[in-house]
Amino acid sequence: MARVKVIGVAGYSGSELARLLIQHPNVESILLIDRRAEEPTPIWKYRANLRGTTDQMVVGKDDGSKADAVFFATPDGVTMNHAKEHLDTGAKVIDFSGDTRLRSAEIHQKWYGIEHASPNLLQEAVYGLPELHREELRKANVIANPGCYPTATILGFAPMVKKGWIDTSFLVADVKSGVSGAGKHLNTRMHFAECEANFNAYKVVGHKHTPEIEQELSLLAGEDLTVNFIPHLLPVTRGILATLYSTLTEDLSIDQIQAEYESFYESHPFVRVLPQGEEACLKAVQGSNFLDISVHVDSRNSRLIVTVTEDNLVKGASGQAVQNMNLALGFEETAGLMQPGLWL
Amino acid sequence: MARVKVIGVAGYSGSELARLLIQHPNVESILLIDRRAEEPTPIWKYRANLRGTTDQMVVGKDDGSKADAVFFATPDGVTMNHAKEHLDTGAKVIDFSGDTRLRSAEIHQKWYGIEHASPNLLQEAVYGLPELHREELRKANVIANPGCYPTATILGFAPMVKKGWIDTSFLVADVKSGVSGAGKHLNTRMHFAECEANFNAYKVVGHKHTPEIEQELSLLAGEDLTVNFIPHLLPVTRGILATLYSTLTEDLSIDQIQAEYESFYESHPFVRVLPQGEEACLKAVQGSNFLDISVHVDSRNSRLIVTVTEDNLVKGASGQAVQNMNLALGFEETAGLMQPGLWL
Amino acid sequence: MARVKVIGVAGYSGSELARLLIQHPNVESILLIDRRAEEPTPIWKYRANLRGTTDQMVVGKDDGSKADAVFFATPDGVTMNHAKEHLDTGAKVIDFSGDTRLRSAEIHQKWYGIEHASPNLLQEAVYGLPELHREELRKANVIANPGCYPTATILGFAPMVKKGWIDTSFLVADVKSGVSGAGKHLNTRMHFAECEANFNAYKVVGHKHTPEIEQELSLLAGEDLTVNFIPHLLPVTRGILATLYSTLTEDLSIDQIQAEYESFYESHPFVRVLPQGEEACLKAVQGSNFLDISVHVDSRNSRLIVTVTEDNLVKGASGQAVQNMNLALGFEETAGLMQPGLWL
Amino acid sequence: MARVKVIGVAGYSGSELARLLIQHPNVESILLIDRRAEEPTPIWKYRANLRGTTDQMVVGKDDGSKADAVFFATPDGVTMNHAKEHLDTGAKVIDFSGDTRLRSAEIHQKWYGIEHASPNLLQEAVYGLPELHREELRKANVIANPGCYPTATILGFAPMVKKGWIDTSFLVADVKSGVSGAGKHLNTRMHFAECEANFNAYKVVGHKHTPEIEQELSLLAGEDLTVNFIPHLLPVTRGILATLYSTLTEDLSIDQIQAEYESFYESHPFVRVLPQGEEACLKAVQGSNFLDISVHVDSRNSRLIVTVTEDNLVKGASGQAVQNMNLALGFEETAGLMQPGLWL
């Protein structure tokens, strides 16, 4: 049984994490922390649906108690300055921010625009995609929970890049995300009246999730590669759909490719490679930790087209963090994560 | 541990019921039946989110096995003809349709427009609102699972009608429902392009949920009363909000009324009477079996205004059916029903 | 041909007004003003759809030029301090705020919580509902453009209150509004992720639109009356639906009532009294200056139920302001206002 | 002044066309036809927003009167059998279906799966994209109104393909459409409860709009090319956003590319090439005939990324048809088409 802390619980991914931890069978105590809580406040003040299901309070400051795992559901720049104090107590640190995702302090500085305060964290951290790094995660002390966009993009390309079956000089990821991915922060673009029935691309070049996608796929390819990652904002609260494009380098049938995806993810309980003819869609994953993949080939020009869906707040953030905690603390990988969502 | 059957599982409330039963700790076997299934079909063909979480199949016909409870998630007219064959085996019958809700065959015929095939069912059935009939439900063989609109309307008025504190000659229920309440049936009004950003009242006079509202409130009042129940269609998938209006018959403070609601629902785990100043909203109940109530008084003219929210597919249908099954089969009332929904 | 000024054009009703004025056949020049414009800015920076259709700029300050009509699309508290400077030049003032709607400074102070800076404005202003005050509006210098909620509520009750056919001791207005009615102001409640698929009542007692509803209906009734006006927030950008409840005081048929509504609005081009059996809905009015009314009676208890729909930004704000300008400046009442909206 | 007929006016693009023609300054008479109209029916029975703005009726059959232009807003297979009877009277035929878009009967048969009944129509027809074929359209008798997806895709790629600046062996069009593009036809996928908050790709390989995209871009390129066109269904009623990908074949700056797009569309009133840093979005085009383009380059790998938005019912269907009629009948190209939409 584990004692855990969540720092930054009032945000969207923080409170989603609280929802999952409260129902987790291996978690015995939870300390919910957010500096926005001026006094101890029931968690259901931030998520009214939790009223009547839990007595958990949110406090403004850490009480210094010992924990087995500490989640940083905080903006960029916090973990790099505060991870150490928790690591020193023996806690595992699971970081939701960009502070630990890149292995190179130089690349970090280039994309995030600030100097890294603890470059050694970058060396110590394991990138928290269990489907690629399961064994390392079992032993990790610092886990870099991936961005929501990279989770879908990397897992969609991974089997082909690893196998060397696609042209890594043309990797395009056209990715569409629900609004909760941008967090609780207020701006005009998130006003219901501006967002409803709207749709657009943004940060078409230079989104800061790009380097972690490139880092992980380069690792799989065994060579440096670039990815064109183009995010779009859907008028939907939850969910990401990535449509991925590349070209087959060999004369491969759709059946061979389908088989390769199925084999690659065979031992991974949260990845569902859909049968030919079924399309990944948001409703099938909203509220759950599943990630769905549909594979297609246009044989006229050997184009590979892969669609991937996930819930950006679950497999794209808090569910994946729990999956990482399960590995790091020696629990069942699926513990507390098999709820299927609602569909309607 | 119970063996259960669901008849009509391919519809929205039927498949929602499947979702809840699959996760229920006291259910050992489930037979999912729908005549739309021409051959045995995985339940996730109807709700893709369930893929990977269950092997349950949907079959076209009952296999005649013995069950402790049989759910009729069927249109009006089915239960009245088929309940008996299940009751004869000793199964409890829980009916989602209008076939068992009214105690008078005459009133049934007036509102439903057809003659009742088994009037004795109307006598045997217990109206499945646990907050009003908990003890009877523990012994019931036939349970009339209430309509989604009546659940919110009756529970919102009940404490005041019972106490005699409101003028029963003016009871107005302005109720707004999400689209899933109308079921999976296709018509132009449910086409996304017609429904999105739209809103309207419908069946302003004469909706068939009216008589069960009047029956239950008359029972509480000890006299016959009428209710103006006006349904509206919200551009939302899940959720009902009822705004209820009447006039206080005595000079009562809002604190007295609030206290009465809290006292009335004190022992009922799924009704949350919100503190003064907090407004019931759909997000707080979507995906859960909770029903929220907010109470207000306009002291200028002694008007009582009560808002009530529920998820029409859960507390308004399938969750309530499970709650009724729990009572009828002697399980904990809350078994399998404490999931809090998602909020976002 | 008219020269007009709009103060506060960057807000939702201000920029909607700009859209209408730009297409208006009797408007020769428009000065768009908003203090949020730090430098002259094309209007399409605030409404990107106008790009390519107009060269109109928004300036931060009035240039002192002479205008025939000045629109205050400003928050409460501005018009009371600045109307005079425009009235003195001979301009008609059309006020979108609460500063001029009430005839009593005392009632204003009670509901708005501040002392009125120019009580004489309250005496001079004409309440800008052309269907009730058309002749006065032709001569008015100060026009109090009604609130969006009062427009629907007053016009829905007016024929019956005037005729004395309903019990004015029980007037309930359950009104549901799209989000744009709350303006462009940012708060968590308007965040897409909080608002989408949500629905709730708010300010159940004491909304500041109440006194203008009561003032106008009392005038029609010839006696003081109170109204229970309960606003709700729809997950929709544009549109209001009011469901109005009262009791018939005489034994009247639905045909008599329908005929009375049709007769009352016969000469009013923007009010469409729908035939029996057709329900007012948002889509039929979004984007247009029309207001639709459906009338119903529950003969079991003599309840009158009226539904009213309008576009809160057009008939509920900017379209009505143009209609008022048309009257005050001697143009056709319908000039520039006959666009039918989009439906889909 | 023109006399026009619309065949198939009860569908979404047909009734959108009616809305535009009713307001058109050069149209003197309109005959609205739909075989679904069993008796003469006001057009506002199909689009309730038009009530009070027009007396136009829909009739079940053509009355044989003479017309200057006949619009076929009909499914595939109608125009090929009925165009001739109208052409013989001297009318211009404007076809919304796939019957006239392709120049090769063989390619038509391959993608549409049926033999073409009038192959000579394919020779006579001009592809109705005024930005590419304006002069031919002025003289055309048969105009193939483009598909909604091809309009955005072709116009987004056209300047670069014509100039030879992109690698035509890798043309990817990731396109997302609102639901109205699929028409009024009922199926489960369009049920509000299934569609709301959902998103998915469909017909990932083999959508029948592919050959017209390839035909027009091949014509511009001067060589046969293939395009990977992948449609997605947005939970939005109106609007298309295309994200287009290719690779620059020369070392070109973003400024050179931006300049080329601006120059290419300089004389075309409905195409707005947005300044660097502004993103095309649906709200800016919904309800209008404008098409917006944003251009980007990722200089790391010379990738060109172009986003294009349009209203699928206007520039993607009925507005474009009116633009084509304007050209063919010698009116101003913009007549009746400069309405800016609503934004909110």
Q: What CATH number is given to the structural domain containing B157?
A: 3.30.360.10
Please report residues of B whose CB lies closer than 8 A to that of C203.
none
The count of other CB atoms within 10 Å of the CB of residue B330 is: 9
Which residues 6+ apart lie within 8 Å of C57 measured at CB? Answer: C32, C40, C41, C42, C43
- Determine contact, residues D21/D43, Cβ cutoff 8 Å: no
Do residues D13 and D105 both lie within one domain? yes
Q: d(Cα B138, Cα A257) in Å, to the nearest integer?
A: 56
Of the residues D33, D94, D122, D148, only one is catalytic, namely D148
Return the CATH number at A29: 3.40.50.720
Report the domain count for chain C: 2
pLDDT at B235: 98
- Determine contact, residues D32/D18, Cβ cutoff 8 Å: yes
The reply to whether residue A279 touches residue D200, judged by beta carbons under 8 angstroms, is yes
Mind listing the pLDDT tens digit for each residue in D218-277? 999 999 999 999 999 999 999 999 999 999 999 999 999 999 999 999 999 999 999 999
Q: d(Cα A325, Cα A321) in Å, to the nearest integer?
A: 6
State percent of chain D over pLDDT 90: 99
Do residues C196 and C308 both lie within one domain? yes
pLDDT at A219: 98
Joined tokens for residue B266: 């004190």
Do residues B14 and B81 both lie within one domain? yes
Nearest CA in chain A to D204: A296
The reply to whether residue C192 touches residue A197, judged by beta carbons under 8 angstroms, is no
- Please work out, in degrees rounded to the nearest 5, the angle formed at the alpha carbon of residue B259 by the alpha carbons of C227 and B238: 65
Q: What is the DSSP letter of B231?
A: E
Do residues C97 and C207 both lie within one domain? no
Q: What is the mean pLDDT of residues C87-93?
A: 98
Structural domain boundaries, residue C29: 2-145+315-329
pLDDT at A163: 98
Do residues C32 and C170 both lie within one domain? no
- Does C336 map to a domain? no
The reply to whether residue A184 touches residue C190, judged by beta carbons under 8 angstroms, is no
Mean pLDDT of chain A: 97
Write the DSSP assignment of D219-280 as a string of letters.
HHHTS----EEEEEE-SSSS-EEEEEEEEBSS---HHHHHHHHHHHTTT-TTEEEPPTT---
Across chain D, which has 344 residues, the per-10-residue mean pLDDT values are: 98 97 97 97 96 96 97 98 97 98 97 96 98 98 98 98 98 98 91 97 98 98 98 98 97 97 98 97 98 98 98 98 98 97 92
Who among B176, B226, B281 is closest to C301 (CB)?
Answer: B226
Q: Sheet with C172-177: list strands edge to edge.
A: C200-201, C228-233, C172-177, C240-247, C303-310, C291-298, C271-273
Q: Give the gap in angstroms from C-alpha B239 to the nearest C-alpha of chain D.
A: 12
C148 is catalytic: yes
B90: left (phi over 0), alpha (psi -120 to 50) or beta: left
The reply to whether residue A340 touches residue B12, judged by beta carbons under 8 angstroms, is no
Q: What's the alpha-carbon Rg for chain C, to the nearest Å?
A: 20
Task: Name subunits touching A (3+ CB pairs < 8 A).
Answer: B, C, D
The owner of tokens 């979480």 is B53
B341: left (phi over 0), alpha (psi -120 to 50) or beta: left
Task: Name subunits touching C (3+ CB pairs < 8 A).
Answer: A, B, D
- Does D334 map to a domain? no
With bands split at pLDDT 50, 70 and 90, how would you rate the model's confidence at A66? very high
- Does D236 map to a domain? yes
Q: Give the gap in angstroms from C-alpha A281 to the nearest C-alpha of chain B.
A: 9
- Please work out, in degrees rounded to the nearest 5, the angle formed at the alpha carbon of residue B71 by the alpha carbons of B68 and B74: 155
- Does C342 map to a domain? no
pLDDT at A4: 98
Mean pLDDT of chain D: 97
Q: Give the strand pairing for B92-95 and B69-72.
A: parallel
Mind listing the pLDDT tens digit for each residue in A224-263? 999 999 999 999 999 999 999 999 999 999 999 999 999 9
Q: Give the gap in angstroms from C-alpha C290 to the nearest C-alpha of chain A.
A: 21
Please report residues of D whose CB lies closer than 8 A to that of C43.
none
Q: What is the mean pLDDT of residues A167-176?
A: 98
Do residues A131 and A154 both lie within one domain? no
Please report residues of B whose CB lies closer than 8 A to that of C230.
243, 305
State percent of chain A over pLDDT 70: 100
- H or E segment to which residue D71 belongs: strand D69-72
Which residues 6+ apart lie within 8 Å of A68 measured at CB? Answer: A2, A3, A4, A91, A92, A329
Do residues C68 and C190 both lie within one domain? no
pLDDT at C9: 98
Mind listing the pLDDT tens digit for each residue in A301-332? 999 999 999 999 999 999 999 999 999 999 99
With bands split at pLDDT 50, 70 and 90, how would you rate the model's confidence at C191? very high
Q: d(Cα B181, Cα B286) in Å, to the nearest integer?
A: 13
Q: What is the DSSP letter of B329?
A: T
Which residues 6+ apart lie within 8 Å of A322 measured at CB? Answer: A17, A20, A21, A24, A289, A335, A336, A337
Do residues A137 and A279 both lie within one domain? no
Of the residues C67, C121, C142, C148, only one is catalytic, namely C148
**Number of H helices and number of E strands within chain D?**
10, 15
Chain D positions contacting chain C at CB under 8 Å are 12, 15-16, 19, 23, 47-54, 180, 196-197, 237-238, 269, 272, 281, 283-288, 290, 313, 338-344
- Please work out, in degrees rounded to the nearest 5, the angle formed at the alpha carbon of residue D9 by the alpha carbons of D7 and D11: 120
Mind listing the pLDDT tens digit for each residue in D270-315? 999 999 999 999 999 999 999 999 999 999 999 999 999 999 999 9
Write the DSSP assignment of C79-139 as a string of letters.
HHHHHHHHHTTT-EEEE-STTSS-S-HHHHHHHHSS--S-HHHHHH-EE--HHHHHHHHHH
The reply to whether residue C283 touches residue B198, judged by beta carbons under 8 angstroms, is yes
Q: d(Cα C180, Cα C177) in Å, to the nearest integer?
A: 8
Q: d(Cα B342, Cα A138) in Å, to the nearest integer?
A: 29
How many CB pairs (< 8 A) connect B and C?
A: 139
Measured between alpha carbons, how far is residue D166 from residues B160, D229, D252 in Å?
A: 73, 17, 10
Do residues B163 and B223 both lie within one domain? yes
Do residues D173 and D193 both lie within one domain? yes
ipTM: 0.97
Mind listing the pLDDT tens digit for each residue in C37-55? 999 999 999 999 999 999 9
- Does D337 map to a domain? no
With bands split at pLDDT 50, 70 and 90, how would you rate the model's confidence at C117? very high
- Does C96 map to a domain? yes
Please report residues of C whose CB lies closer than 8 A to that of A312.
none
Joined tokens for residue C337: 């206002």
**Closest by Cα among A235, A192, D236, B235 to C179:** A192
pLDDT at D320: 98
- Does A62 map to a domain? yes
Q: d(Cα A32, Cα A42) in Å, to the nearest integer?
A: 10
With bands split at pLDDT 50, 70 and 90, how would you rate the model's confidence at A77? very high
Q: Give the gap in angstroms from C-alpha C10 to the nearest C-alpha of chain A.
A: 13
Who among C12, C52, C287 is closest to D290 (CB)?
Answer: C52
- Fill in the amino acid letter for D342: L
The count of other CB atoms within 10 Å of the CB of residue B122 is: 20
Q: d(Cα D215, Cα D208) in Å, to the nearest integer?
A: 12
The owner of tokens 């017909």 is D203
Which residues lie across from B31 on neighbouring strands?
Answer: B5
Alpha helical stretches, state H, chain B: 12-22, 79-87, 105-112, 119-124, 130-139, 148-163, 192-195, 210-221, 254-264, 319-328
Nearest CA in chain A to C183: A193
pLDDT at C27: 98
Chain B positions contacting chain D at CB under 8 Å are 12, 178-180, 184, 186-188, 190-193, 195-197, 235-237
Nearest CA in chain B to D188: B186
Q: d(Cα C81, Cα B219) in Å, to the nearest integer?
A: 59
- H or E segment to which residue A155 belongs: helix A148-163
With bands split at pLDDT 50, 70 and 90, how would you rate the model's confidence at A75? very high
Mind listing the pLDDT tens digit for each residue in C226-266? 999 999 999 999 999 999 999 999 999 999 999 999 999 99
**Closest by Cα among B252, B328, B314 to B96:** B314
Q: Give the gap in angstroms from C-alpha D299 to the nearest C-alpha of chain B.
A: 38
Do residues A180 and A305 both lie within one domain? yes
The reply to whether residue A241 touches residue D200, judged by beta carbons under 8 angstroms, is yes
Measured between alpha carbons, how far is residue B278 from residues A272, B283, C326, D33 in Å?
A: 41, 13, 44, 54
Q: d(Cα C102, Cα C30) in Å, to the nearest integer?
A: 29
Nearest CA in chain B to D181: B193
Which residues in chain B show pLDDT less than 50? none
Q: Give the strand pairing for C303-310 and C240-247.
A: antiparallel
Please report residues of B whose CB lies closer than 8 A to that of A336.
none
- Determine contact, residues C183/C148, Cβ cutoff 8 Å: no
Please report residues of D whose CB lies closer than 8 A to that of A237.
197
Mean pLDDT of chain C: 97
Who among C178, C186, C196 is closest to A186 (CB)?
Answer: C186
**Closest by Cα among A275, A296, A333, A341 to A314:** A341
Who among D19, D284, D344 is closest to C12 (CB)?
Answer: D344
Q: Give the gap in angstroms from C-alpha A281 to the nearest C-alpha of chain D.
A: 5
Do residues D269 and D173 both lie within one domain? yes
